[in-house]
Amino acid sequence: MNDSIKHLIEESIGTGEVLEIIYLGGSRPGVKRRVVFQKLEDNGDKVRVVDLNEPGVAKVFFINKIFRPEDLTEEEISRLVPDYSTKDFNTLQELYDECSQKVLLREFELEFVPESQKLNIYKYRFFKNGNKRRKLHFSLYFQEFVTDYSISESGELIDIQKPAQRPWAIGNKRFSRFPKAAKEFLKLFKECIQK
């Protein structure tokens, strides 16, 4: 554990001082955060903080994962932060399990609908009176068949159902294999957990 970080934390507890740190854990590892330290926990191994990017949410950070921005280079951060873009997901359940461990920003919600093979991200809009409205932000889904249209000899429009060559979709993008669709979903999902 870095003694200068622990000393900095101990000195700032109870002062309300806002400090900029890099935390190599949580929902946004490696991102600069503006925090207020509140109190030490777990025999001084953890500290309770208020992250100013997520007001109203108290968090507990491991002290050994806290660094001052000037103590790490971008190269060191990328080496220390886990990269999920190289991980292959083979099922929607695996992807959901990974995503559900992340803490979303206040305005987003993750929903898994196994019976229709969908993973949805909803975005909330908050009104002055406290009410909120939910709208689908993006979705990863499976579509076994696609509809094509043709005109019969008599001039009637005919719907033709045929197997989809690219059954996985996110918006207008279509994918033949789930792992590629999952990587695209994670790119969009990352925006919901980072500012």
148-189 pLDDT per residue, tens: 888 888 989 888 898 989 999 998 899 999 999 998 998 888
Work out the number of other CB atoms within 10 angstroms of the CB of residue 171.
11
CA–CA separation, 91 and 101 (whole Å)? 16
Query: In whole numbers, what is the pLDDT of the chain averaged over residues?
Result: 85
The predicted pLDDT at position 84 comes to 58
Residue bearing the bigger pLDDT, 93 or 130: 93
Q: How far apart, in Å, are the Cα atoms of 140 and each of 41, 84, 99, 154?
A: 40, 17, 13, 39
pLDDT of residue 115: 93
- Identify the band that residue 195 occupies on the pLDDT scale cut at 50, 70 and 90: very low
* 45 vs 120 pLDDT, higher one: 120
d(CA 112, CA 104): 15
pTM of the predicted structure, to 2 decimals = 0.54
Task: Say how far apart CA 43 and CA 38 lie, in whole Å.
Answer: 15
pLDDT above 70 for 23: yes
